[in-house]
Structures are given as C-alpha cells and as structure tokens.
Amino acid sequence: MNPSTLPLAGIRVIEFSHMVMGPTCGMILADLGAEVIKIEPAGGDKTRKLPGLGAGFFRTFNRNKKSVVLDIGTPEGRASALALVDSADVLIENFRPGYMEAAGLGYAALAERNPGLIYVSHKGFLPGPYDHRTALDEVVQMMGGLAYMTGPPGQPLRAGSSVNDIMGGMFGVIGVLAALQERHRTGIGQEIQSALFENCVFLSAQHMQQYAMSGEPPPPFPARVSAWSVYDVFPLAGDQQLFIAAVSDKQWLSLCDVLGASELAADESLRTNQQRVAQRPRLLQALRVILANFDIDTLSGLLEKAGLPYAPINRPDQLFDDPHLLGSGGLVPMQTDSGEQTQVPLLPLLMGGRRLGVQRPLPRVGEHSEEVLSSLISH
C-alpha cells in the first residue's frame, strides 16, 4: 500500500505517550496515513518490556510509527522536541497532569509557537473534582459502572481488555479529525482532551437510562433478566460449548427444527417470546438436555444453514487461525522490532473497499532518530 494515497498523508503527528490510550490514538492516525513520530526515552517505551497481560501492548498499539529517542529533560532534547512540534500538525500526550507543562511542552506554550497545532491530551479524568487522581483502566471500570455490570452480583469484574484505554484513544482520533476539518476553515488548532472515566461512563450510559426509565438499578449481566428466552452458552458433547440465540418466534421454530425438538415447537405455552421468557429456566433446562448430545461441528453447520445466531467460545490465541480474519484480509503479517514476524488484526473498517494495512516494521528504539532530526536541521 502506498502511504501517499492514504487519507491523512502529509499530516505529521508527534507522539509523547506510553501504555495504551495515547499509543492507540497514534496508531490509528498512522494507519490512516499520518507520519507519526513516537518520542521515546533512551531505554525505550517501558511497555516494550512489560510482562504478563501487558506483553502485547507495544506490538499492538505502535505499528506504522517512527521512533525517535529524546531526553526532554536536557536543553538539547527539549530544543529538538520544540523543533519537531514546530513542524507538526498534531501532538499526542498521555502523561500525568502537569508533566508536559513542567517540561515546557504544554498546550499554551506550544500554541504560541505553532498556532495551527492540534494538541491531544489523554487523561484519567476531564477537568473537575477528580482530575488530580491517578487513573487506570481498571480503576475507572470500577468507578464507571462497567465492572459492576460485568461480574456476578457482589463480584465486580473488569472487562477482559483495555476497553477504556482503547476507546479513549479512539475518541482522541475523533477529536483530531474534527479539529483538522475545523482548521481548514479557521487556520487555528486547538486542545483536545479525552479521558478514561468519562469514556467508561459513556459505555455505561445505556444502563443509566435503563434506571432512569424503570426506577430499578440494572442487575449485573450474569444476573440479568434476558429479553430473549434463548440467549445463552450451552454445554455440548465432549465438554464443548456454544453460544446460541433465538431472538424471534421464527428463530425459535427454526431452532426446534434444527434440534429435532418437535414437542417444544408444538407447546402452545412456548409460542411467543414473552411466554418463553416467563418459563426460561424450564426451557433452558430442556434445551441443555437435548444439546448435550450434539457435536459442536455438526451443530454449528446446522445452525449456519438455518441462519441462526451462534458462536464458539474462542480464546484470543485461536483467532490467529480464524478463517474469516484470514480470508477477509483482516489479519496480516508485521515484522516486529526484534525482526520476528507476527500476525496483527487491522483496523475494523473498509475505506473505499480497502483495508488500512501495515506500512512499515514495528520500530526499534530510536530507529528513526537520525532521519527525523537531521531533516529538521536541513530545514
């Protein structure tokens, strides 16, 4: 793919960020064709070496970027940073409140030098009573209602991904795209702020309105009253599991046909979804008895043919072999910073019928320092 044909070709982004939220913003802009220059300390972004569940952070959220090593605590490093900012359209940062200002890289100071600069701050909280607090994705999931809704009653549980960090970066991108459009009219940039807590509250907003309409606090998902009678994970033969749904009366009859459950299809007390929901425990037990005899591959084929919603319970590692991801071009090779090859999922969108792909290997620490900084001197 020729980067010069991508939507944000010609846009320069300077990224002062680490972990997930800021890097997500930078990665999406880079995938869209912007030149994203990631500023790292001499030892590199600490997420390059995180263990455990953080081990995949750097690979996932830093593709298509250039790496420049700068120590902004030194006069030379700060001068180079300012020169880079003078050449930039966008700056991304996700450090603690006050850090960039103390380094002389806050929005007010930089906007005087570069009035067209779009400055994106990713924080724990937007300005207000909480903005002094230290926030992490799990912290705001607890505060913002998401952990309560995810876990069983009395057992709050964070979602199994960095959902607020990732979505916070996405909202940063939305702000950048809107600010670029506004700059076309005014010639002036602006400061954009995206925050973890407000992001999580946005995710919980549907449950806030559920309470506003019903007067009843919504139960956590494991204890919810489903709107549909068949909408659950069922055990199959051989200790396999399959999620199966039937969300209309037509789908209910189709499911009965697939399962050979003519007696359930003929039961007048189960004719409508409302009737089935009222008898859901009895109905699910009857289905479990029937489904325990089905092989997952056979049943999946029957459900597919009938057009019924179903899903295997996949682990993340199994997605490397997913036939749809592979067949649709949504999983592609990328060379890592150690020279290895891995497969990475692309952004989940098509633009003009094309996927936005991997344009360059994952950068090594400081790999582009000489290239980028020498270009500043020559100008």
Known catalytic residues?
Answer: 165
Q: Rounded to an integer, what distance in angstroms lies between the CA atom of residue 170 and that of residue 176?
A: 10
CB 266 within 8 A of CB 208: no
User: What does the alpha-carbon distance between residue 167 and residue 159 come to, in Å, rounded to a whole number?
Assistant: 13
C-alpha 223/C-alpha 264 separation (Å) is 25
Phi, psi of 281 (to 5 degrees): -60, -45
Among 138, 90, 136, 82, CA closest to 110: 82
- Round to whole Å and give the CA distance between 57 and 36: 17
What is the C-alpha R_g of the chain? 25
Under a CB-based contact definition with an 8 Å cutoff, are residues 273 and 250 in contact?
Answer: no
Look at residues 346, 325, 327, 343 and name the one whose alpha carbon lies nearest to residue 335: 343
Can you say how many angstroms the Cα of residue 58 is from the centroid of all Cα atoms in its chain? 14
What SS3 class is residue 291?
helix
Alpha-carbon distances of 97 from 39, 81, 124, 127, rounded to whole Å: 18, 19, 9, 10
**Token digits for 293?**
């005899």
Number of CB atoms found within 10 A of residue 292's CB: 11
Distance between CA atoms of 18 and 58, rounded to whole angstroms?
A: 9
302 contacts: CB under 8 Å, gap ≥ 6: 258
User: At what angle are helices 296-306 and 249-259 packed, to 10 degrees?
Assistant: 140
